[in-house]
Amino acid sequence: MRAPLSWIKDYVDLDGISIEELAHRLTMAGLEIEEITFVGLPLPPGDKHDFKVEGIEWARDKIVVAEVREVGPHPNADRLTLCRLHDGDGEHTVLTGAPNLFPYKGQGPLDPPLKVAYAREGTTLYDGHAEGWQLMTLKKALIRGVESYSMVCSEKELGISEEHEGILFLPEDAPTGIPLADYMGDAVLDIAITPNIARNANILGVAREIAALFERELKQPDTAFKAEGSPVAGQFKIQIENPELNPRFVAGLIRDVKIQPSPGWVQRRLRLAGQRPINNIVDVTNYVMLDIGQPLHAFDYDELMRRAGGKPPTLITRTAKKGEKLTTLDEVEHPLQDFTVLVADTKGSHSIAGIMGGLDTEVTEKTTNVLLEGANWNFINIRQTLGYLKMNSEASYRFSRGVHPALAPRGVGRGLELMRQWAGGTVCEGLVDEYPQPYADPTTELTAEDVRRWLGIDLAAKDIAAILARLGFATRVKGEVVSATAPDHRVDISADPVIGKADLLEEIARIYGYDNIPETRLADVLPPQRNNAALEFEEGVRDLLVRQGLQEIITYRLTSPEREDKRLPPGVAPDPKPYVTLKNPISPDRFAMRKSMLASMLEILERNARLRARLAFFEIGFVYHDSESGPLPDEKPRLVIAITGPRDLPNWQSAEPELLDYYDLKGIAEALLEGLHLTGIRYEPGQHPSFHPGKQARVLAGERQLGTLGELHPAVHGQHDLGPAPVLVATFALDALMAAAPPRHEMREVPAFPPVLEDLAFIVDEALPAGQVQALIEQTGGSTLAGVRLFDVYRGEQLGKGKKSLAYALTYQAADRTLTDDEVAKLRKKIIGRLERELGAALRA
């Protein structure tokens, strides 16, 4: 919403309020000033402002009101003229090519003289000839043999509009010699209007807020019109079919208007407010909408008569019929849905209610009689229609946010009067006003206690009433209770007494000033304090991985099946469970919620592959699986780890670096699981298609699979732009990890008696997993065998083909005594015996 200060001043006196103060108070009260465009008024001092500053100021000593007393020819150029101009101090000869001065050329002294904006040497203005808004400074120059040092300005040069066809003419009574900034300097506030204050999307609304904030009087708009024509009754009728959707319809009639451009000041106001002037009739509808907030529509009355066969027309508001279509002003044909409300007549529909008028009945240059509509529409219904039409107009912006029906007759009254003033003609007496569904302005009760309880400030009932009165509420104080009836320009106060109370509390806080409400600390009862076990576990996992030197990443959770399928080798069918997919994706490669963390991880590895040889990442996040039990998917927490590249970071000493392999990743996984105090973990060969078939393990706690780890399948590796080093990946179900982790763990006593250390090596079949050997040793050794650690795997000719030697460092230790040689020897014999019998192992001498 662009609000020129000069226009706001129609309704509230701004004397003594600086632009900065005004902008600050409005912003703090919820009318955020996003930008101020200065059109002549002095720019605020300094660089620090609450708002963005645009535009220029008109130097008071350099740009003044002047009068052109005579327009003469240029001796050397037909398209230029020389003006004899008086700027209050003296006469100047000004050279210009403005086409709108040509008619005066050679007419001798002008009476009355033409009032213009005159810029002296050294003035900074916009360059009228440049594209966009370029500043330039007036310098002395010789143009076709005539010296030029000053100029008469166009609107564009002054920053008022893009108009540069001719120079700006000022009214005859503009006082010659006064600074132009004093005469018509302006600034335009660009205000962000949130949906709850849509009532302020007009000049009067902004002025009302200013009046309330600064405790000034609000002048009411003049909505009376001078009617000298025959009564309107009988000249047309209005018929509302659905009062729910069209609560009110008001119309008036003006005859014998002359379509022409609006007065200059009107055009300037409209342009400053961001509206393009069209002609006086259309401009009135826009002006009134911007002025007081009621959108209007002007019909060509004679065209309506023609459609009605020469009889007084009947305007009918109704919903669209099945298959009905309508061509709007912009010459676009719209297919309509059956809930859309139309303004029609006996011949057919001609406009989409509240959104856009129709082509057939619009005002043209030939129009002489105008029927002016000011209606009220159901804002939800308007929104539904906008939803499928994908249209936008200033009218629909307002109607889709709610307009009070009381504005309709005011808008039509004001519109008719302005048409009379700007277009001539005679207004017919009276209005036709169909108001089948009157709006009840709610009365809400609230007390000083409500204000204290909700806002934390102590206000007396009379002070509360006074604040609300400043916003136009009709208030009554009875003891502690304030009853406030909402003014008839706003529809945002709920009729629900509790919600209505909150609505009023917001208004009280805004006008009282958020700044003035003291800061306090919560003194309310502290709720039961609860841990968030899942989050704590997740954060614990993060810490365990960070401590191992891994970098955390966070990736997009939106993906596509194509992206995710790259985690599988060619020919492997992805799991057929459906994705959660978007109806309205913003990018064609991100329309589904991910089912795999691995795919996201591979994307990030790819992105970094050329940047670092060694990468070590992890991510904790969710995957999304369509649920069988309801419409909402399951969101499952997952962990993915990936490492690749040299084992050590590059440094100046290292020779040929060794590459990270399966056992590095397994070490990370083991440290993680140990840090979580998980016990009884098994690693068994796995069959996950994304992994190397021979280099992957399922991680099991009991029979429950916690995750998978291994080397990325070379075929999958090949589908990605990765370096040659193997990529090691682990995925874990975080919820399974959490379920397997003990809530607490007990300390093992630190041994007080010396251990007996011994190395034993066994020759076993190549195919026998080392894990089985270790498990059997541990099981046989029982509590006396405090530790078993594999320290060597050896293969050699003397062992025989298909054999390997596994060497273990054993630690025998008892918690309560020093072990005797005899005890150790017995246990050793038992271990060797079982390994020989059950695994076919032979002790290596």
Partner 1 sequence: MDTLKQLDQIEKDGLAALAAASDEEALAAWRTAHLGRKSGLMAAFDGMKDLTKEERPLVGRRANEVKQALESALEKKQSALRMAALEASLSGEHLDVSLPGRAQPLGRLHPVNQTLRRIYAIFAEMGFQVYRSREVESDDYNFTFLNIPAHHPARDMWDTFHTDREGVILRTHTSPGQIHAMREYCPETIRVILPGMVYRYEQVTTRSEMQFNQVEGLAVGPNITFGDLKGTLTDFARRLFNPQVRTRFRASHFPFTEPSAEMDVECFVCMGDGCSVCKGTGWLEILGSGMVHPTVLRAGGYDPEQVSGFAFGMGPERITMLLHRITDIRHFWRNDVRFLEQF
Min. distance of Cβ 150 from partner 1 in angstroms? 34
Q: Work out whether 126 is an interface residue with partner 1 (CB under 8 A).
A: no
For partner 1, the binding residues in 328-357 under the rule CB under 8 A are none
Distance separating alpha carbons of residues 179 and 59, to the nearest angstrom: 8
Provide the minimum distance between the beta carbon of 512 and partner 1 in the complex, in angstroms, as a whole number: 10
Query: Are the C-beta atoms of 80 and 74 separated by less than 8 Å?
Result: yes
Which lies closer to partner 1 via its Cβ, residue 443 or residue 548? 548
Shortest distance (Å) from residue 501 CB to partner 1:
8
Rounded Cα distance, 775 and 33, in Å: 73
Question: What is the secondary structure of 375-422 as a DSSP string?
Answer: EE--HHHHHHHHHHH----HHHHHHTT---TTHHHHHHHHHHHHHHHH
Neighbours of 752 (CB within 10 A): 11
C-alpha span between 12 and 4 (Å, rounded): 13
Q: CB 50 → partner 1: shortest distance, Å?
A: 5
Contacting residue, 491, 550, 709, 777, with partner 1 by CB under 8 A: 550
Q: What would the x/- binding string for partner 1 be over residues 608 to 637, using CB under 8 A?
A: x--xx-xxxx----x-x------xxx-x--
Q: Name which of 82 and 593 has its Cβ closer to partner 1.
A: 593
Q: Which is nearer to partner 1, 299 or 397 (CB)?
A: 397
Q: What ranges make up the beta strands (E) of 645-755?
A: 681-685, 691-701, 704-712, 727-733
Helix (H) or strand (E) holding 539: helix 533-547
Going by the DSSP 8-state scheme, the letter that residue 356 receives in this structure is: B
Residue type, 215: E
CA dist 24 and 168 (Å) reads 33
The answer to whether the beta carbons of residues 442 and 496 sit under 8 Å apart is no
Pick the closer one to partner 1 by CB: 515 or 797: 515
CB-nearer residue toward partner 1: 47 or 333: 47
- Shortest reach from residue 449's CB to partner 1, in Å: 11
The pattern of x and - marking residues 250 through 289 that bind partner 1 according to CB under 8 A reads ----------------------------------------
The residue within the footprint of partner 1, chosen from 593, 639, 673, 728 (CB under 8 A), is 593
Of 194 and 772, nearer to partner 1 (C-beta) is 194
Residue 519 Cβ vs partner 1, minimum distance, rounded to whole Å: 4
Q: For 359-381, give one letter per residue: b (16+ CB within 10 A) or e.
A: bbbbbeeebbbbbbbbbbbbbeb
Nearer Cβ to partner 1 (61/524): 524
Q: What HEC string does 467-497 produce?
A: HHHHCCCEEEEECCEEEEECCCCCCCCCCCH
- Binders of partner 1 among residues 84 to 123 (CB under 8 A) are none
Minimal distance, residue 769 CB to partner 1, in Å: 30
User: Residue 756: in which H helix or E strand, if any?
Assistant: strand 756-765
Q: Are 612 and 572 in contact (CB under 8 A)?
A: no
Beta carbons of 1 and 37 less than 8 angstroms apart: no
Stretch that binds partner 1, among 178-186, 307-315, 646-654, 709-717 (CB under 8 A): 646-654
> 794: closest CA among 827, 825, 759?
759
Separation of alpha carbons 453 and 465, rounded Å: 17
How many whole angstroms from its chain centre is CA 114?
A: 50
Classify residue 802 as exposed, middle or buried by CB count within 10 Å of its CB (0-12, 13-18, 19+): exposed
Residues 22-61, one symbol each (x = binds partner 1 by CB under 8 A, - = not), give: -----xxxx-x--------------xxxxxx---------
At closest approach, how far in Å is the CB of 295 from partner 1? Answer: 16
Q: How far is the CB of 401 from partner 1 (least distance, A)?
A: 5
CA separation for the pair 746, 769 (Å, rounded): 31
Residue partners of 304: CB distance under 8 A and separation at least 6: 236, 313, 315, 345, 361, 371
Kindly identify the residues of this chain, within the stretch 375-394, that bind partner 1 according to CB under 8 A.
379-380, 383-384, 387
DSSP summary character for residue 572: P
Among residue numbers 490 through 509, which ones bind partner 1 (CB under 8 A)?
496, 498-499, 501-503, 505-506, 509
- Of 93, 100, 124, 196, the residue at the interface with partner 1 (CB under 8 A) is 196
Q: Burial level of 599, CB count in 10 A (0-12/13-18/19+)?
A: buried
- To partner 1, the closest distance from the beta carbon of 517 in angstroms equals 6
Distance, in Å, from the CA atom of 468 to the CA atom of 507, rounded to the nearest integer, reads 7
Smallest gap from Cβ 504 to partner 1, in A, equals 10
CB of residue 669 vs partner 1: minimum separation in angstroms? 15
CB 137 within 8 A of CB 59: no
Which residues between 389 and 428 bind partner 1 (CB under 8 A)?
A: 400-402
**96, 129 Cβ separation under 8 angstroms:** no
At residue 813, what is the residue type? Q
Minimum CB separation from partner 1 for residue 480, in Å?
Answer: 16
CA distances from 316 to 1, 238, 381, 482 (A): 32, 6, 17, 43
Distance of alpha carbon 540 from alpha carbon 545, whole angstroms? 9
Q: Is 578 exposed, middle or buried (0-12, 13-18, 19+ CB in 10 A)?
A: exposed
Nearest residue to 296 (alpha-carbon basis) of 287, 304, 307, 306: 287
The answer to the question of residue 658 lying near partner 1 (CB under 8 A) is no
Q: What is the β-pairing status of strands 426-429 and 227-231?
A: parallel
Determine if 554 is a binding residue for partner 1 (CB under 8 A).
yes
Binding track over 141-180 against partner 1, x by CB under 8 A: ----------------------------------------
Q: 509-538: which residues touch partner 1 (CB under 8 A)? A: 509-510, 514-515, 517-532, 534-535
- Of 429-458, binders to partner 1 (CB under 8 A) are 452-457
Smaller CB separation from partner 1, 394 or 635: 635
Inter-axis angle of helices 533-547 and 662-675, nearest 10: 140
Q: In angstroms, what is the minimal distance from the CB of 14 to partner 1?
A: 21
Shortest distance, position 447 Cβ to partner 1, whole Å = 12
Report the residue number, 46 or 90, with the smaller CB distance to partner 1: 46
Mark the segment that binds partner 1 (CB under 8 A) among 404-412, 587-595, 764-772, 773-781: 587-595
Question: 222 or 589, CB closer to partner 1?
Answer: 589
Identify which of residues 25 and 713 has a Cβ nearer to partner 1 in the complex: 25
Q: Is 754 helix (H, G, I), strand (E, B) or coil?
A: coil
Smaller CB separation from partner 1, 15 or 524: 524
Q: Let me know: does 688 contact 676? Beta carbons within 8 Å.
A: no
Position among 573, 586, 747, 845 found at the interface with partner 1 (CB under 8 A): 586
387 or 424, CB closer to partner 1?
387
Tokens of 140: 């002395």
Under the criterion CB under 8 A, does residue 650 sit at the interface with partner 1? yes
Site for partner 1 contains 198 (CB under 8 A): yes
Q: Does residue 564 belong to the site contacting partner 1 (CB under 8 A)?
A: no
CB of 578 to partner 1, least distance (A): 9
Interaction between residue 327 and partner 1 (CB under 8 A)? no
Cβ 534 to partner 1 shortest distance, Å: 7
Which listed residue (649, 739, 775, 825) binds partner 1 by CB under 8 A?
649
Closest approach, Cβ 179 to partner 1, in A, equals 28
- Count of residues that interact with partner 1, criterion CB under 8 A: 107
* Segment 796 to 815, residues that bind partner 1, using CB under 8 A: none
